[in-house]
Each structure stands twice: as structure tokens, then as C-alpha cells.
Structure 1
Amino acid sequence: MRLSRLALPVLAFALALGVSAVTASFAVRLVEDASETEVRAALDREGIDWADVDAYGLQVYLLGTAPSEADRFRALSTAGKVVDAARVVDDVNVAESKPLAPPRFSIEILRHDSGLTLIGLVPASTDRAALVARAQEAAGEVPVSDLLEVADHPAPEGWRPALGAAFDALERLPRAKVSVAAGQVTVKGAAESEADRRRLEAELARAAPEDVSLALEISAPRPVISPFTLRFVKDASGARFDACAAASPEGRDRILRAAAAAGLEGKADCRIGLGVPSAQWPDAAERALGALDRLGGGTLTMTDAEIALVAQQGTDPERFERVVSELASTLPDVFALDAVLPEPPGAAEGEAGPTEFVATLSPEGAVQLRGPLASENARVITDSLARARFGSEAVHTSAEIDPDLPESWQTRVLAGLEGLAELERGALVVTPAGIELRGETGNAEASAEIAALVAEKLGGTQGLTLDVAYREELDPEAAQPTPEECVANLQGLLDGRKINFEPGSATLDSEARLILDDIAELLRRCGAIPLEIAGHTDSQGRESMNLELSQARAQAVLDELRNRRVLTASFRAEGYGESEPIADNSTEEGREANRRIEFRLIRSEADEPLESGAADGQEEPAGEDADTGGANEG
């Protein structure tokens, strides 16, 4: 009985304890769920979608991988605003940060009359002192402003050759803006003339490394074209321009479209220049070209404000009168029209054969003059002009005197000889009916220049027949040798000759200076080529002194070439001392062979003087062996 009375209170206490535990557990679960829900909602509102939440008791665990340390801190702060920060357990990982991308290295080089400025960001591996020194060499006596910044990143691929191409352009252009980036160079500048612009663009494009993208924006002042000339021929062989001038690109395009409508095929162009006689020049050209097309062929010559329209033989007279009348009524007032319908074939039947003065120019430059001239004085003048234009030794004159020649005969002969002098080889025929010039030239503008010259001398080009062919192999710019050909030519020039120095010094002897005159003449024709001048010695003496001597001798050769006005921006002098013998140093003959100067074509961007660090490329000497010249120690 007594035990029963004790069991009831114990049972009741146990029951109460169980109820309390269940109640407490339920309450904790409510707190966990509420904390987890509220924290998750707060994170969602802040856009923190990478974090996960897990509550255990009063503690709230933040899980997941934060993109950055800042994102992790923001998530903890957001959770700490919902529940007591002491209850928040940080179980967040932070993603590994990506390496910083290297900056874009670039330089803007501004060159003008008062100085040269370097602006931009360069890699730390760039030899800044050498860069500024190279800039000062290009600038000459004007100051160089160094506004460069440096970043400690490796130089990107293509950086060094781009620098070399940039400074090559700077040495050629007295006023320019050159933009340099890895593998890219943009050159904006001004040339003195259109011919100079074409030459500069050809040289820069030829000298640029293959792995450098070169953009050229070189302007040139428009030339003064006098007389302002257009000559268009349409005959059985087709339609062509012998000369074409325009005052603007828009005017040029209008003229070319009208020429195409009149039968011109293929590529053609008009020189753009100053001196146009009227702003209505394109209007007059369009109308005159249309009239020539309606006639079916002939020759159109516009010389300043004078227009000469010569129809083909056999043109219907009624059509000729109608077309000429329409053209005359529609031409702008400033232009004067002279239209000619040649006599039909057979009109002059029974007359003697035509009188002809003939001048021939051979490929070797020899000139033969034969045919009638009006007087002995005319013969002397003709012979003197030919000798002045072609050289005294090249001209042979065999002219007879005929006082019955036309009054304009002598003027035609002299104008024709001036035109012949614009050709590399060809022939001139002067008849009472006109002038005929045929030949070949390396000047793409020769036809236009000859037409303008004849028009100026004769007051027009009526009776002028031009058949001038442009040959690229005769163009001194287009036919410029390749770098490989230049170094091969150097080897041939130095065959059996040697660049010698005074004993134990870097002073060239008198014979070496004469050799360098010939080398300079050859290199000026080559333009800018990547060339190394390598100095070598024998093994006598200390190695360090031999290295210094070889460097000094290579530099002496470079300086002498520079003094002879050779473009040396792409050259470098390098001394190798006794390290690269080509013969046995134990004999006098071997030592003599080892004392030498070599000219090597640089095949890669390695060892660029503007960049510090070891070279990873190599140079190739000309020819089968390395020796293209020598330097004697005495």
C-alpha cells in the first residue's frame, strides 16, 4: 500500500516531465523554422542566392561558396540583422579569386617640329632608357618628353616588333602620330608630296614585320596640276584615259562613272589636285564623254577651259553636227569647244608620203634622232635639248634641213622629245598631222604627265597619239629588292674585298671607307631592312677586350653608314669578340679570316634593343656561309 502511494507521485512527475520535454522540443523546432525562414527571406531580398541556411537549436548556419570575401561578409551581416549575430555560425567558403588580367600596353608617340612625346603604359621588361634613347635618335635635336607609366607584367606577344616598326616610321616622318600596341601599329602623318606619300607607304609596308598589323593614314598636299588635263581615247582597241585630273574625290567619281558609261573597262583613276579652271569641270567632263560615246569613238582632250573633240575617220557628218551642237549648247559657259571631223580616207590620195621626224630611246639609254628640221639653228636646239635630257654621250643626231616644214614643226619636235624623256624606252614620231609617242615606263602617271606637257607646249593635245605601257619592273619603288636580295647583293659586293681597321682600334682605314661608300649606295636602294652588323676578332688578347673591340668596330661601321644618309633605324651593331671563329686561330691565315665584319639579315624579333631579357631568336647571314665582309686588326 505504501509503495502504491509513492508510485503515483513519481508517475505523475514523470508524465509532467515528458510533457515538458515535448513542449520544449516543439518550441525549439518553431524557433529553428522561424529563424531559418526569416534569414532565408532576408538573403533573397538582398539577392544573395548562392547562400544556404540551416538552423539547429538557436544557432543559424550559413552555408555555400561566396563569389568573394565581400559577398561573404554581406551575407553574414544580412543574417545578423534578422537574428542575434552571436547565433550566426559562419560556414561559408570563398571562391578562389581569378588572376588579374594584364593591362593593355600601348604607347602614343607624337612627333612635331618642337619635340617628341611618349605617352602610355609599357611592361616592366621594356628597357625604358633604351626606348627614350631611340626616341631621341628619331627626334634629332628637339627634346623628348617621357610620360610613360610601367606595369609589372610580362610583355605581350608582338610588343617588341611593333615598337621597332613604330620607330622606323618615326624616323621617316618629321610630323606624325604613331600608336603602338602588341602586334599593331597605326601611323598618321603628312608627306611632302603625293609621290613622297606613295614612297613612304611602300617603304613602311615593306619594312613592317609579318606579325605586325600596320595601318597607314599618310596625307599629302594636293599637287598643282597645270595645265588641268583630261584626255580620253575610244577607238578599235577600246576606251582608255591617257590623262585624267579632278579637283575632289566626288568629281573624280563622277568622271569615272561617265567614262565607264562611254565604254571604259577595268581599273582607272584620276589625279586629284589643285588648278581646276572651274568648279563645273566634272559637269563639262560628263557631257563631253557622253558626246564622244554618241559619236562612236574618237579623242576627247580637256586642257584647262578648252575642249577638243576629234571624231574618228568615217563618222557620219550629220551625226557629228548634231552631237557637237548638243554638246556646245549644254557645256558650262567658261568652256570653249573645238570639234574636228577628220577628212575621209582617200581625200589626200596622190600626195607624197608623210614627212617624219623619228627619235628612238633604247633600253640601254641610247637615243637616235633622224628626220627633217627647219634650219641649222633648229638642229642645234634639238640636239642640245636631247643631250640635256638623255646625256651627251647617249645622243646621236642625223637630221637634214628642210625649210618648207610646217610652222609648228619645231615646237612639236621639242615637245615630243620632252615626252620621250619620261619613258624608259620608246619611240617618237612627228608628222604634219601630229605626234605619236609609244613606249614603256616605270612611272604610273607618265601618260597623264606627257599629255599635260604636250598640251602646255602646243595649246592642246589635238593630233597626239599615246601608247605608253606601265611596267612594274621598271618602277624603282615597286622593283625595290627584297631584304634577302639586298643581303645577297652585299655578299657579291664584298666578294674579294674586306673592311679593315687600323691596328688594335675601331678606326676604319682609307680603303674601308671606299668600300662603305659602295655599301651605302646599295643599302639606300634597299630601303629599311632588318640588318645586323656583326663584329668579330681573333683569339689573341683578353676575351673581354676582344669583345669590346668587336662591338666598337661594328658600331663604327653603323655610324659610317648613318653618316652616308642610309636609313639605319632597323639596323643594329653587335660585337661577338672571339666567340664565333670561322677558321683556325693557331695560324695567321685563320686569325686574318676571323677578324671580320658580317652583315646578317635579322630573321626574328629576338634581341630587340628596346626590350631587356635573353634573345630567343637568331639571325641568318647572307649566302651559304656567314662571312660577307671582314675586319682586319692590322
Structure 2
Amino acid sequence: MRLSTFLHVALTFVAAAIVALMAANASVGLIEDRSEIGVRQVLDDRELVWAEVSADGLQVTLTGTAPTESDRFQALAAAGSIVDAARVIDAMQVEAEAELAPPRFSIEILRNDAGISVIGLIPAAADREALTDRFERLADGTAFADFLESADYPTPDEWDESLGFALRALDKLPRAKVSVQSGRVDITAMAESEDDKAALERDLNRAAPSNLYLALNITAPRPVLTPFTLRFVRDADGIRFDACSADDEEARTRIVNAAFKAGLTGQPDCTIGMGVPTPRWSEAASLAIAAIAELEGGSVTFSDADVSLIAPEGTPQNTFDRIVGELENTLPDVFALTAVLPQPKSEQPQGPPEFTATLSPEGQVQLRGRIQDEVTRELATSYAQSLFGSAAVYTAARIDDSLPDGWSTRVLTGLEALGNLSNGAVVVTPDEVTVTGNTGEKEANARIAQLLADKLGEAQHFDISVTYQEKLDPASGIPTPEECEAEIAGIVAVSKINFEPGSANVDAAAMGTLDDIAEILKECGSIKLEIQGHTDSQGRESMNLSLSQERAQTVLDELRARRVLTSSFRAKGYGETQPVEDNGTEAGREANRRIEFRLIRPEPMTPEPQSALDSLAEQSNEDAPEEPASESEDAGDE
């Protein structure tokens, strides 16, 4: 074969191979494009847009980061629905699973006379055994129920501090519910009395760490008053309550309003307690107070259902008879009235027997006057020594066997009354027990009146002239509510409480002002205070009112965070309704945007022109027979 023929055949084969190769490459490229486009389309349709597709020959590779393992399998299944699953190469990754959020560690502790129960979740790192031992010691032999669980997560900041404070607080709380979280302790408890409640709140707030939020809800039961006592006096020293008791808030308001109508000024103390002899107590007290007002003097004393009225000396007999008769007819049936009209002193025999006990400011006691017998003198001396100390009592009383019955009871009762004074004297006569002196306790008058009414019995005349002196009061350092209000106003005038524009967030520069106000309020004790929010007139009125309320509430919350006892506080927004300057100027608007602290004062009573007794008597006798009503009207005309 010739060489030219061979070359021609070889070139023909080479050309055919090149054409075949080009055709094969074109077919592969077409398959790759179709595979990639098809898989991309189905992934988009199924919202698996995170997956990336690339084709290499017959192989289809999936890349990208799947949100979850389930999403990865969905992408593989979608690709397998377009091309043979054997041709799909999985090069995808899965996002690392986010770490589980740690649980909220908390403990609920319930304690009562039956024992202690604890439920909650604590960190696994906590010393469970030591904690259980602490609770068992607190239970002190009573039942202890442990329902605590643990979780292996890091101990939160301030957890140990919160739990430690809660355990210390439980030492003072025999009946309580305590909730513990990191940085917060909530305590709900019951105290034995109002004094115990105040002491608990003070001690717990002082003991709480500064970085701990403490929420207190401590209640105290109403005291049981035995006997239930009220004493209203109008004499040369003025108009006053020596003792005042009521069974609820409505009854107290009724009694106090009756006293206002009788001429009382100022806000009296009237204890709400249990033990009232009848639900009509306030009605009877109001009628008796009105009788004293009509007599223009004297005193009325309630000891449970026994009522003793002492008219002013020199009251005309017919006036006395009429007023007492009307009072007897209108008092509820359960009450027994004893009324006395003292005779002028000139008609009384001179030189009545007398016993006197004096207490000096230094604490020295002298007993002088007359005592029934030696046994009574020794008893009086021993009793005085038990009250004032053995070395402080000097006895110079003489024996007189002609003294009236009950003398020793009156002497011992007088000594007990003297024990409520810082200095003063008690004078006992056959007709009267007189207590005079000074005290540093605001409740001394009420206690003495209750004591004398209980021990001496009805119809016994006694006189109390005890003066409260602030310098003798252990709490004399506490400023008056008015002084507190003025001092806070002075601080706000110098350093205003400002807020972020259009917001209820306190400006950082005002935090020092709130610190200063909190320190004053801690010294003021329990006062009724309104935190007032005011705005300028810019913006809608409704928005200004809402913003002023939010700002007042923010200030109240800031004071709570500073351990101020705010149970008697309230926050109120007044919006733009009470401007102090012209809103037409920038300086005026700045002055009108303010926070004020105002005492909540009782609204004064306006006396009615008709006599209080006539008004109340008419209400009680609406259904009375016609003839007795006519007699009452005739008596009133006199």
C-alpha cells in the first residue's frame, strides 16, 4: 500500500474521533446543565434556598449549611427526585445546635407551726447536704418536706447571696412564704402586731444586701381590745380623746366625724381592733359624743357596754335630765348608761381622805396619804417596787381604817396608771382618781383610760391630764410629716428630678437627688405621701396625663429600690392641668415639667348648723310613737 493512501485513512479516523469527542462533551455539558437547573429549581420550590448545587459530569454535589439535620435530609431527597440518588454527593454541613438556655433557679419556702416545706430547682454545685441541715435546724423538731431538684448548670450571680439572706430572714419569720431567685427575695409573712410588723420591715430592709431586690408583704392582725374602750373629754384643757376604739374603718370614720362636729380639731388616733361588744358601737359612741357637745363639757367613758357620763359641774338639773334622758332613749339596748352630775365643791365636805403617789423625772417614787391597813401598805409598796425598782420607792403613807370599801383597789390601779408615765402623780380620793404628768408614749392616754375604766368599774369618776412630750419619746428624732415634706421640697428645688425627653426613664444626673430623698424618707417613718407627676402643655392632653403618671410611678419604684417603705405612698399623674408657670415660654415649660412630693391630708369636716345630738336623735327616733316625739320636741324648745 502506498504511503499516501495510509495517511489518508489515518487522518479520516482521527477526524472521526475528534468529532465523536466533541459530540460527547456537548452531551455531558447538556446533561450537567439540565441536572443543575432541575435540582436548583426543586430546592427553590421547597424553600431550601440555603443549599448550593454544582454538577460535574453525571455527579451532582450539594453544598451549604443546613439549619437542622432534617433540612439536610430534605435537600438530599429533593435532589434525588430529579437525578439518580446515586449521582448525588452530600457535601453539606449542619449548623451547630445552640446551647440550651440554663433553667431559672428558684426556691419556694413555706413555714408555719406545722413545719417547713421547700420546693424548687437549685444548681448542682450547691451544697445540698448543708442546705438540708440548715432547713432541719430551722424546723426545730417539726416536719421538714424537701422537694428540691438540681440541674448541672453554672450558679447564677448573686444566687448564694439571695439564698443566704432568705435563710437569715427565716430565723425571724415563724409563719412566712419566702421566694428566692438570683438577686431577688419576696417575703410574705404575718406579724403578731403592728409594732412587730414595723420592726420586722425595718430589720429586714436594713439586713438586705444593697444589690438584692427585696419585696415585703407583711401583715398584722387587728389587736384584741379587752375591754373595748372609748373616752371623750371636753374640759378646760380642750376637747380630746383619752382613748378611742373602733371595730372597722367605717366605724372609726363615724366616731371621728362625730368628734369633729363636737369641736375636736386635728386628727385623733382611734385604734381598730377586735372584741367590740356590738356592731352598733360606733352609733352609741357618736350619740354619747354629741351629748357631751350639747352639755358643753364633761366626759363620757365606754368600757364594753358600760357607759359612764360625767356632766360639767354646775350644769342645770333640767338640762342634765333632758340630755341624759334623750341619750338613754336613743342608745342601743345593749348599752347601760350611768350619768353623774357632780355637786359644787362648796357643798362637799372638806378634807376628804387622799392617797398620793408621785414619780419624779429621776425615777424616784413617793407614796403618801392614807392606806386601809398594814397589809395594803405592804402590798402597795411591793407593787410600786416591782414597777419602778426597789431602791426608787419611798413609803410614807399612814393607816386609816375608816377608808371606804374598794380603797385598796383604787390605790393599786392608780399605781399601775402611774407606771405609764415618765413623771407625774396619781391622787386617789373616795370620789375620783386623778392622773397627771408627762409621757413619751403617744398611746399612754388611751392605755390609762382603758385601765381605769376596766379596774374601777362603771360610774367611777376619774380624770386624766397626761401630756405627751416629744423629748421623752424614744422616737423623738423622727421629723414630723410636714418637716419631711418641706425638706424634700428643698432638695427638689435645688436639684430637680429630670427625665429623658418624652420618656419615663429618670435622667442619670437625677439619681443622686433620688438618693437624698430616700435618705430623708427613711428617717420620716410611715407618712402618707403622694408623688405627683406634672408636664407642660405641649402634645396631646391624654399623652401628657399618661406620661406624668408613668414618671410618678417610676419615682415610686426608684424609692422602693432604695429600701424606702412605700406602702403608704401613692403615685399620681396630673398631666398639664396644674402649671406653675406660663407654658408660652421655654422657661415656663421647664418649670411645669416636674415631680412634687405632697402629704396626703384628711379633708376637714364642716360642722353642720344643727346640733349633733338633735340630728342623731332624729335619725334614731324616726319610727318612734308620735306622743314621745312631741315630748322630745318640747324639751328641745326649752
TM-score (norm: length of structure 1): 0.54
**Structure 1 472/113 Cα, relative in aligned 2: closer, same or farther at 3 Å?**
farther
Q: Which residue of 1 aligns with 2:434?
A: 435
Q: Which residue of 2 aligns with 1:123?
A: 123
Report the Cα distance in structure 1 between the residues aligned to 2:293 and 2:334, rounded to whole angstroms.
23
Q: Is the 8 A contact 1:242 1:466 kept in 2?
A: no
Q: Which residue of 2 aligns with 1:463?
A: 462
Query: Secondary structure, in 3 states, of the residue corresponding to 2:171?
Result: helix
Mapping of residues 418-433 of structure 1, within 5 Å? 418-431=416-429, 432-433=431-432
Structure 1 residue 139 corresponds to structure 2 residue 133: no
Q: Which residue of 2 aligns with 1:563?
A: none
Cα displacement string for residues 70-113 of structure 1 (whole angstroms, at most 9, x for unaligned residues)? 89569859977997897999999988877654432221223455
Q: Which residue of 2 aligns with 1:390?
A: 388
Report the Cα distance in structure 1 between the residues aligned to 2:96 and 2:471, rounded to whole angstroms.
62
Structure 1 residue 179 corresponds to structure 2 residue 182: no
Cα displacement string for residues 275-306 of structure 1 (whole angstroms, at most 9, x for unaligned residues)? 33223223323443455456666533211102
Structure 1 residues without counterparts, runs of 5 or longer? 1-20, 480-634
Query: Secondary structure, in 3 states, of the residue corresponding to 1:307?
Result: strand
Percent of residue pairs identical: 45
**Structure 1 110/340 Cα, relative in aligned 2: closer, same or farther at 3 Å?**
same
Residue type matched to 2:284 in 1? A
Q: Is the 8 A contact 2:235 2:298 kept in 1?
A: yes
**Structure 1 294/158 Cα, relative in aligned 2: closer, same or farther at 3 Å?**
farther
Structure 1 residue 265 corresponds to structure 2 residue 266: yes
Residue type matched to 1:429 in 2? V
Q: Which residue of 2 aligns with 1:306?
A: 306
Query: Secondary structure, in 3 states, of the residue corresponding to 1:284?
Result: helix
Q: Which residue of 1 aligns with 2:485?
A: none
Residue type matched to 2:161 in 1? P
Report the Cα distance in structure 1 between the residues aligned to 2:471 and 2:101, rounded to whole angstroms.
48
Q: Is the 8 A contact 2:249 2:272 kept in 1?
A: no
Q: Which residue of 1 aligns with 2:329?
A: 329
Q: Which residue of 2 aligns with 1:229?
A: 229
Q: Which residue of 1 aligns with 2:359?
A: 361
Q: Is the 8 A contact 1:116 1:145 kept in 2?
A: yes
Report the Cα distance in structure 1 between the residues aligned to 2:33 and 2:169, rounded to whole angstroms.
79
Q: Is the 8 A contact 2:248 2:272 kept in 1?
A: no
**Structure 1 93/463 Cα, relative in aligned 2: closer, same or farther at 3 Å?**
farther
**Structure 1 383/332 Cα, relative in aligned 2: closer, same or farther at 3 Å?**
same
Residue type matched to 1:270 in 2? T
Report the Cα distance in structure 1 between the residues aligned to 2:72 and 2:314, rounded to whole angstroms.
98
Report the Cα distance in structure 2 between the residues aligned to 1:249 and 1:62, rounded to whole angstroms.
79
Q: Is the 8 A contact 2:116 2:143 kept in 1?
A: yes
Q: In the comparison of the two structures, how many residue pairs are matched?
A: 449
- What is the deviation of 1:61? 12
Q: Is the 8 A contact 1:359 1:427 kept in 2?
A: yes
Report the Cα distance in structure 2 between the residues aligned to 1:336 and 1:151, rounded to whole angstroms.
70
Residue type matched to 1:136 in 2? E
Cα displacement string for residues 577-596 of structure 1 (whole angstroms, at most 9, x for unaligned residues)? xxxxxxxxxxxxxxxxxxxx
Mapping of residues 82-97 of structure 1, within 5 Å? none
User: Greater shift after overlay, 284-293 or 158-167?
Assistant: 284-293
Report the Cα distance in structure 1 between the residues aligned to 2:230 and 2:51, rounded to whole angstroms.
86
Q: Which residue of 2 aligns with 1:415?
A: 413
Residue type matched to 1:467 in 2? V
Report the Cα distance in structure 1 between the residues aligned to 2:120 and 2:225, rounded to whole angstroms.
42
Q: Which residue of 1 aligns with 2:68?
A: 69
Report the Cα distance in structure 2 between the residues aligned to 1:177 and 1:291, rounded to whole angstroms.
50
- What is the deviation of 1:374? 5.6
Q: Is the 8 A contact 1:79 1:88 kept in 2?
A: no
Residue type matched to 1:243 in 2? A
- What is the deviation of 1:436? 1.9
- What is the deviation of 1:367? 0.9
Q: Which residue of 2 aligns with 1:245?
A: 245
Report the Cα distance in structure 1 between the residues aligned to 2:89 and 2:319, rounded to whole angstroms.
104
**Structure 1 188/264 Cα, relative in aligned 2: closer, same or farther at 3 Å?**
farther
Match of 1:451 among 440, 449, 452: 449
**Structure 1 362/82 Cα, relative in aligned 2: closer, same or farther at 3 Å?**
farther
**Structure 1 134/353 Cα, relative in aligned 2: closer, same or farther at 3 Å?**
same
Q: Is the 8 A contact 1:374 1:404 kept in 2?
A: yes
- What is the deviation of 1:227? 1.9
**Structure 1 388/312 Cα, relative in aligned 2: closer, same or farther at 3 Å?**
same
Residue type matched to 1:304 in 2? D
Structure 1 residue 110 corresponds to structure 2 residue 110: yes
Mapping of residues 188-207 of structure 1, within 5 Å? 188-189=188-189, 203-207=203-207
Q: Is the 8 A contact 2:363 2:392 kept in 1?
A: yes
Task: Using CA pairs under 8 Å that are at least 6 residues apart, name the structure with larger relative contact order, 1 or 2.
Answer: 1
- What is the deviation of 1:270? 0.8
- What is the deviation of 1:214? 4.3
Report the Cα distance in structure 1 between the residues aligned to 2:223 and 2:295, rounded to whole angstroms.
34
Report the Cα distance in structure 1 between the residues aligned to 2:355 and 2:224, rounded to whole angstroms.
33
Report the Cα distance in structure 2 between the residues aligned to 1:474 and 1:239, rounded to whole angstroms.
23
- What is the deviation of 1:251? 4.5
Report the Cα distance in structure 1 between the residues aligned to 2:265 and 2:39, rounded to whole angstroms.
87
- What is the deviation of 1:63? 12
Report the Cα distance in structure 2 between the residues aligned to 1:295 and 1:156, rounded to whole angstroms.
72
Residue type matched to 2:358 in 1? T
Q: Is the 8 A contact 1:231 1:451 kept in 2?
A: yes
Q: Which residue of 2 aligns with 1:601?
A: none
Structure 1 residue 288 corresponds to structure 2 residue 254: no
Query: Secondary structure, in 3 states, of the residue corresponding to 1:226?
Result: coil
Cα displacement string for residues 178-212 of structure 1 (whole angstroms, at most 9, x for unaligned residues)? 32223433444556677766665555455444444
Residue type matched to 1:168 in 2? R
**Structure 1 250/470 Cα, relative in aligned 2: closer, same or farther at 3 Å?**
farther
Residue type matched to 2:434 in 1? I
Q: Is the 8 A contact 1:76 1:90 kept in 2?
A: no
- What is the deviation of 1:456? 1.6
**Structure 1 125/261 Cα, relative in aligned 2: closer, same or farther at 3 Å?**
farther
Q: Is the 8 A contact 1:412 1:435 kept in 2?
A: no
**Structure 1 373/466 Cα, relative in aligned 2: closer, same or farther at 3 Å?**
same
Report the Cα distance in structure 1 between the residues aligned to 2:326 and 2:417, rounded to whole angstroms.
34
Report the Cα distance in structure 2 between the residues aligned to 1:315 and 1:170, rounded to whole angstroms.
61
- What is the deviation of 1:135? 1.8
Query: Secondary structure, in 3 states, of the residue corresponding to 1:163?
Result: helix
**Structure 1 315/59 Cα, relative in aligned 2: closer, same or farther at 3 Å?**
farther
Report the Cα distance in structure 2 between the residues aligned to 1:322 and 1:83, rounded to whole angstroms.
114
- What is the deviation of 1:337? 2.7
User: Greater shift after overlay, 354-363 or 279-288?
Assistant: 354-363
**Structure 1 147/430 Cα, relative in aligned 2: closer, same or farther at 3 Å?**
same
Residue type matched to 1:163 in 2? L
